[in-house]
Amino acid sequence: MEKPANVQSSVETLMKAYAVQCFCEPVVAIERGDHQPLGSEVVVEVMRCGICHTDLHLQDGYYDLGGGKRANLVDRGIRPPVIMGHEVLGRLVAKGPNAAIDDSAIGKTFLVYPWLGCGECEVCQAGKENLCAKPRYIGVARAGGYAEQCVVPDPKYLVDVTGIEPALAATYACSGLTAYSALRKVTIDKQDDLLVLMGLGGVGLSGLQIALALGYRRIAVADIDADKREFALKCGASLTLDPRDGDALSVLADAGGAAAVVDFVGNSATATFAIASLRKGGTCIVVGLFGGDITLSLPPLVQRAITLQGSFVGNLDELKELIELAKSGVIDPLPIETVAFDEVNAALERLRAGHVKGRLVLAR
């Protein structure tokens, strides 16, 4: 966890935040002293903050590993109070004495790249901070955007999103980036090969829109929700199916089999289906963190020459690429509903119930 702000202005001003104080309980409003940025730090006044499915795991305090096993967040050093929120868009309001950003940027709005590593190891130096062994993710391991202000360790993590609708821009930091990074790992013929996307939650829907923008022409979408399937067809999917239908796999096989599948759900049923849908030589990329486990027979892994890969969020360069793509106007916007910050608990419960199309974004 982030250490409490250790420097407060002599005239005490307080910043409101919404924090998980006890796992498995609603978030509560707390107050913290305004943070005076030190060193290279910058402070943004949070204008928009997306609500992500990951936040539900943070609220619960664990991930389900399947087979009755759990990955507890306290074992990873994540303890309440947790100020969640990693899709942060805000106005730059303060900078530390060593922050390498021009004074003229004060007052401008930026998207925050949240997937910070230690910044020093080889992985971080190679620009893959999201894969650092010592993560300090904003809204996970350090205070995030469910607050009036958010401290960012360095201005290099601020991305210019001029021209993109603010709530939509916020979602690119996680749901968009996660989808984009997963799709960058797909290496199939965009014209002829079948790409299967599983699960049309916020990330999956982003995935569909980004895949269309990237030029994939044969996209099948699998979701158990008929409304979401219908919406996928309207967006431009060429085929939709309910993975629970007995003939769903044969429908995909008749379409040539999946050259690549991106599983945006990541539970036992979806991953099992995704792997079964692959044609020989196909790749399954698991992105969702719903939780569970699978049993994988090894001889077919070899004989079918399939690849099973995980993909976790994305790196800073990928976010910048995605923002450029979005600025060029080729990505259809994700449906977004904005809600007030003090309605965060109701919003989290709606997401938990699965009744959200697109993304809920806190706004002020």
Chain positions contacting Zn ion, by CB under 5 A: 52, 54, 117-118, 121, 124, 132, 174
Closer residue to Zn ion, CB minimum distance, 39 or 300: 39
φ, ψ for residue 322 (rounded to 5)? -60, -40
Q: Phi/psi class of residue 155: alpha, beta or left (left: φ > 0; alpha: ψ in -120 to 50)?
A: alpha
Question: Measuring CA to CA, which residue among 92, 26, 39, 35 is closest to residue 347?
Answer: 26
Smallest distance from Zn ion to CB 139, Å: 8
What is the DSSP track for 225-278?
Answer: -HHHHHHHHHHT-SEEE-TTSTTHHHHHHHTT-EEEEEESS-BHHHHHHHHHHE
Smallest distance from Zn ion to CB 202, Å: 8
Smallest distance from Zn ion to CB 230, Å: 25
Distance between CA atoms of residues 256 and 275, nearest Å: 14
Smallest distance from Zn ion to CB 219, Å: 23
Amino acid of residue 308? L
Smallest distance from Zn ion to CB 302, Å: 34
Closer residue to Zn ion, CB minimum distance, 57 or 229: 57
Smallest distance from Zn ion to CB 213, Å: 20
Structure tokens at 190: 């965009």
With a CB cutoff of 8 Å and minimum separation 6, the contacts of 130 are 115, 117, 312, 313, 314, 315
First to last CA, the chain: 26
Closer residue to Zn ion, CB minimum distance, 49 or 213: 49
